[in-house]
Structure 1
Amino acid sequence: MKKRILSLLASVAMLCGLAMLAPASAVAAPYCGIYWGSLPESASGMSSAQIENLRTGRHACFDRLVVDLEGDVSGYSVTYVHRVSELGSGFAVPLRGGADLEILVHAPAYDADFHATYSPRHPSHAVDVDGYRTFRQVAFSGSFEGQTLIGLGVRARLPMRVFTLDGPGDGSRLVIDVAHRW
């Protein structure tokens, strides 16, 4: 009886060991074919465009933030930071989530007469992201010296991609996608 129990325990231990050595692809399917990383993404240049709107969308594999501009977006910087700091003052922009994504658009949110072209009712919650899988908070920090800062609180430091799109009309869009998981 003792030999039988020891033999059974040895078999269970061997099966557990084999399961741990199995390749990851045999255990879990690839996640949406995402190959993005989490390193900073940027493009140089200042823009004569103005920010008109922020909007978000939920997709099967990622959450999306879109910055709508009137004119061509030329420059931006999107990077994970320890904390997002307001332009000019350096005060912290409090964000919910496990990671902070700083989005600096090289375009103002005001026109040539310094009238706001984008002014959300609640800047610390510029876009409602309740129920999103990755996004926790979108904060519009404001514009300073021709640049606009947006803080994006996300669940964790996850893969992201950044790209621009032309249109509609003479406008353009800065698109930031953050994956739901690695």
Structure 2
Amino acid sequence: MVITLRRALGALAATALMLTGTVAAVAPASVAAQTISTMTGIRTGQNPGFDRIVLDLTAGPAPTVRYDLVDELIADASGEIVWLTGEYFIAVTVTPAAAHDDAGNPTYPGPQKFRTRNLRNVMAVAVTGDYEATLSIGLGVRSRTPVTVFTLTSPNRVVIDVRH
């Protein structure tokens, strides 16, 4: 029965090709191009009780954000260790997001790694990955304290609060 159905569908497709001379293909919805937010800046600030890191993003769907307390920061794609000032490390992933445009040009003009001397707990920040619609940021911190990560919209932002 399955073979007969396949043959019938194949014959129907061949007939349609002969009659129209063209073949139309429909891409599945999951393959359709989607617009993702791109990072344009990283801001830092000290607040009473916590240090704040803000990732500024362009318009697009609000990304999902996750963080992990890790022993070392690993660069996405290469798997190399990212050396960063800090006693402990926080790895933050933002998806879907990027730090480059469709042509591969960077949308974030700042440094890939920098010290944050104005903050009490966060010592340094690094862009650890920009690969396959996943943007990764690493933080080097003085002490393990609670971390809160969330997104804001209009404009899109990722907020990382690290307690002192």
TM range (shorter): 0.7 to 0.9
* TM-score normalised by the chain length of structure 1: 0.66
Structure 1 residues 98 and 150 mapped into 2: Cα distance closer, same or farther (>3 Å)?
same
d(CA) in 2 for partners of 1:73 and 1:119?
Answer: 22
Letter paired with 2:104: F
Q: Higher strand share goes to which structure?
A: 2
Cα drift, residue 55 of structure 1: 0.6
Residue 79 of structure 1 deviates from its aligned partner by 1.2
**Distance in 2, Cα, partners of 1:131 & 1:111:** 31
Runs of 5+ consecutive residues of structure 1 not aligned to the other structure: 1-45
- Do the aligned partners of 1:47 and 1:75 also contact (CA within 8 Å) in 2? no
Instruction: Name the residue aligned to 1:96.
Output: 85
The offset of 1:141, in angstroms, is 2.2
**Unmatched segments (≥5 aa) in structure 2:** 1-33
Distance, in Å, in 1 between the alignment partners of 2:45 and 2:70 is: 23
Match of 1:58 in 2: 46
Identity of aligned residues (%): 34
1:119 positional shift: 3.2
Contact (CA 8 Å) 1:47, 1:73: kept in 2 or not? no
The correspondence for 2:127, drawn from 134, 140, 152, is 140
AA aligned opposite 1:124: K
Q: Structure 2 matches for 1:10-159, cutoff 5 A?
A: 48-71=36-59, 72-106=61-95, 107-120=97-110, 122-125=111-114, 128-159=115-146
Aligned counterpart, 1:11: none
Q: Which amino acid aligns with 1:63?
A: D
Question: Counterpart in 1 of 2:17?
Answer: none
Against the structure 1 CA distance between its residues 83 and 163, is the aligned structure 2 distance closer, same or farther, given a 3 Å change threshold?
A: same
What root-mean-square deviation, in Å, do the aligned CA atoms of Structure 1 and Structure 2 show? 1.6
Q: Deviation above 4 Å: which 4+ runs of structure 1?
A: none
